[in-house]
Amino acid sequence: MKRLAVLLAALLAATAQATDWQASASDQVKASVRQQGTQQCLDYDFNGVSGYAVLRRSWPQDWPANFALHTQLSGEGAGNELQMKLVDASGDNVWWVTRPSFAPTAQAQATVFKQRQIQFAWGPAADKQLRRTEFLEWVVVAAAKGAQRGSLCVAPLSIEPRAAVPATAAPPRTTRQPGLVQIDLQAPRELSGLRIDWPQAPGRYRIEASDDGRHWHTQAERARSAAGTELQFLSELETRWLRLRYPSQLAAPRVQLRSLTDWPSRDAMLQELAKQLPEGDLPRAYRGQQNYWTLVGVDGGGATSGLLSEDGAIELHPGGPSLEPALRLADGRLLTWAQVSQQHSLQGGHLPMPRVHWRHPEVELDIEAGADGTPAEPGLMARYIVRNPGRHSLRVSLLLVARPWQVNPPQQFLNLRGGVSPIEQLRWDGLQLHLAGHRLVSTLRPTAVQAQPFAAGMGLRQLLAAPALAQLDDPQGLASGLLRYDLELPPGGEQTVGFVTALDSRPLNLRFERVAEAWQQRLGKLQLSLPPAAGPLADRMRAALAQILVSRDGPWLRPGTRSYARSWIRDGAMMVAALLRMGDVKAAREFVDAFGGILFENGKVPCCHDARGADPVVENDSHGQYLYAVAEVWRHTQDERFLARHWPAVQRTVAYVDRLRQSERTAANQAPERARFYGLMPPSISHEGYSDKPAYAYWDNFWTLRGLKDAAQMARALQSPLASSYAAQLAEFEHDLAASVRATAQHYGQSVIAGAADRGDFDPTSTTVLLNPAGGEALVAPALLTNTFERYLREARERTAGTRPYKDYTPYELRNVSALVRLGWADAAHELLAFFYRDARPDGWHQWAEVVLPDAREPRFLGDMPHAWISADFLRAALDLLAYERESSGDLILGAGLTTAWRASGPIQVAGLSTAYGRLDYRLLPQAAGWRLHIDHRPERLPGQLRLAWPGTGPLPRATADGQPLPWDGRELPLPATHATIDLVTP
């Protein structure tokens, strides 16, 4: 009976434990829980979409200062990401450990999570220290190459309290014998690597570790052929004893330990190495300086693109190794990025064919990059033009150095971590250099090809003394190779050396020419001739268009190719608007068609898409953005078949939006304290500033307004019976939104529009969406709108003047340029543009990173360069200077950004500008007594008036058509449909 009672108690305990666990999943993902012995198993099926499956239970814990978690994991379905999450009682604050590309096995494997590996993930908590949590979650997240179906089985977690890590560790005890250096760490410690100073070349040697001082395990076995300093990265080694074995006849080396704090990564090891080498031998990123870069690729080839750094290094593909230039003069002096001055440009002023110009009194070097081929198989091309600027013959060597790191620097951590890119093998076959899956074909046979492993050093002088290369294997994956070209140049002479990654029978110069011609045609649909006061605005606009096209992955518009190598409907919708206005219908239509194919069955629009599929994260701006993108393509093309193709998805999306809105039209939200939430979209994290906790962001709601407007317009165009229903939904939402904005301003005692109804924050860059594209300015009090952008402008001017310190900003703020133009503040808009131009880095490449720092050399995460969503924001703002649509009246306003300075400095000509009402061509030409306006092509679907804005405060010119006076309406001139030429005479 006693044994039966014990068995029954065990059975009840197991049953209770099983019922404690709950399975859940994201949209269209299936998940269930089952018990397997002492393990709980999560069975999942991703069902062809991106997403996640969750195994969750209540597990209250007070956490010690230091600990390890022990469990056993098994299952099937390799390649997805495993997350272990600890969640506090509020559910808002999360700590986690992630294991990318996790591969469970059928046999349970012991697994340990150390306290230092558990990081704060997100949440509003000010104290990020792990102290108490209430829930445990195991999560399987779909990965691009992960299994669609599988299971994860977990044993109960046990907590092993550990002694707190001492602030100062006991000094290690080192003993030396012939051929042996042994180190007793006094207690188990975690190490990341060693610095070894060899007084003599050691030949082969071995590094071993032991937990008990008796049983030893080899950590690394190396060969070194020179004396000097050597760095060894050992990853996360936890041990009590360490020893170094080497030939007994040699003098003992000096060994220094490096902790995980010293070297959290191999990049940190390289930073220490860079300090020991001459400046310029390693990239500036390893010298503690920020470096900048730009894209090299083909249209739609963002996933296979290369990078060119401001210093002339070329990254061969995303995450791939680099090829760096250097010069050696006849007297042996080495010239790198650190010894020359630099300038940057784009071929033709705007083509995605970047150049770096090195200048030195004795020699010059131009590095030019481009790409041809297809997105799947692009051919990367580079030209190195060495020039002799002197009056005497010049002997110089061009050095092209293959390096095991990306141009993308190590502080870039999001999605694709920058820094080291292993080169484990180098091979030279007499014609081509083979490295990391690439082959480099040189247009000129090198004088010498040399290489050495990391253990032999990474300095340029060390590499110049390295053996000739046939094949080299480096167990540390940090090999370097050198192609040396010895050149003799007459006075004023030059020599070109090129390389390609794809063979082609055409000469390299011809390939460059063909690429340039193709891009000129692609980027030239909008023809602009602007006055000198506009500066390189036209080139900046065409360059921004190219940045969007090169960043995209096939049809998928993406803000970046490294950190942001995903396709967001948010970014994409605004890129679509920019592309269409620039005349690039093809790319816009391809994106909208692609995104329309991944909507969830319930009408939810995914926030983004990547190789894993549609992402289910709740971002409630997405639905309005998809509706806007569809409508915008239709407005510019009038393609009814396109609209009909998307109409079923549009209907599902509108129905989903209505369900979300109605969920907030509750009695609870009618209470005075919550009235500002009534009828809004539910909270989400679409706004990056609200990633700590979902918010009632007006960003979401302004986009919803835009989407419902577009749904109603599309329904009318298709003569759908839903047109009246959609109009009613729009009217209801406009009422609720207007009431919310008023209530929020009253609740927080503000005279500006808040960023979120539950935060009362100030976020004018998000508020710009109310003006464009939402066209909802009539829903808010004019004073609120004016105060919002007056405050922004005041603070922006203080920042420009240096009286408002800032740690960083993002050029998403370019949207405010458009807002100021639409408010009639053209001069202020140009002030902002001048500020943003200052932070285009490097200036000649006409691009912005996502993050801009006041100290250009402070090394920090920057996002992608260029950031294609910011390129679209710039384009939309720049285009508004020339013409914009006033939705409330159906008017088209031209010239709102043509300031007095522009008008005074020369003619302005615009041809091929696409608008929602049709094509617009116009010229504003200076005359002896003023100007003459020619409307060369009037939009054929214009429902309202064509109006000429006249920015400034000076007297208005006298306007006539065929000698008949035309009346001004404020500072706008309604243009008669019967006349194409208007004379504007200076008063």
- The residues spanned by each domain of the chain are 21-161, 173-264, 283-519, 884-985
Rounded to an integer, what distance in angstroms lies between the CA atom of residue 650 and that of residue 644? Answer: 10
pLDDT at residue 163 in the model: 83
Judged against a pLDDT cut of 60, whether residue 18 lies above it is answered with no
pLDDT at position 504, please?
84
pLDDT at 291 over 70: yes
What is the pLDDT at residue 19?
Answer: 61
Considering only 384-398, 496-510, 559-573, which range has the smallest mean pLDDT? 496-510
Residue (of 332, 328, 319, 231) closest to 275 by Cα position:
231
211-235 burial: b if 16+ Cβ within 10 Å, else e: eeeeebeebbebebeeebebbbbbe
Contact between 822 and 896 under an 8 Å Cβ cutoff? The reply is yes
> To the nearest whole percent, how much of the chain has pLDDT over 90?
94
The pLDDT value recorded for residue 667 is: 96
Task: Please state, in angstroms and rounded to a whole number, the distance separating the CA atoms of residues 905 and 530.
Answer: 9
pLDDT at residue 6 tops 90: no
CA distance linking residue 617 with residue 625, whole number of Å:
15
What does the pLDDT look like over 656-695, one tens digit per residue? 999 999 999 999 999 999 999 999 999 999 988 899 999 9
Q: Is residue 718 pLDDT above 60, yes or no? A: yes
End-to-end CA distance of the chain: 112
pLDDT of residue 168: 78
Please tell me the pTM assigned to this model. Answer: 0.95
Please check whether the two domains, 283-519 and 884-985, share a CATH topology. Answer: no
For domain 21-161, say whether CATH 2.60.120.430 is its number. yes
Lowest mean pLDDT among 156-165, 319-328, 343-352, 825-834: 156-165
Q: By the 8 A CB rule, do 980 and 961 touch?
A: no
Q: Does residue 2 carry a pLDDT above 80?
A: no
CATH topology of domain 884-985: Maltose phosphorylase, domain 3 (2.60.420)
CATH class in words for 283-519? mainly beta
Domain 173-264 has CATH 2.20.28.270: no
Q: In this structure, what is the dihedral angle of CA atoms 620, 626, 628, 632, given to the nearest 10 degrees?
A: 160
Q: How sure is the predictor about 601, in pLDDT bands with cuts at 50, 70 and 90?
A: very high
Q: What is the mean pLDDT of residues 374-395?
A: 97
Q: Residue 323: its pLDDT value, please?
A: 98
Q: How far apart are CA 641 and CA 877, in angstroms?
A: 30
578 vs 275: CA distance, rounded Å: 45
Helix (H, G, I), strand (E, B) or coil at 796: helix
20 or 873, higher pLDDT:
873
**Residue 688 has what pLDDT?**
82
The average confidence (pLDDT) of the chain is 95
- At 14, is the pLDDT very low, low, confident or very high (cuts 50, 70, 90)? very low
* pLDDT for position 223: 87
Does 7 have pLDDT greater than 60?
Answer: no
772-809, pLDDT tens digit by residue? 999 999 999 999 999 999 999 999 999 999 999 999 99
Residue 222's identity, in one-letter code, is R
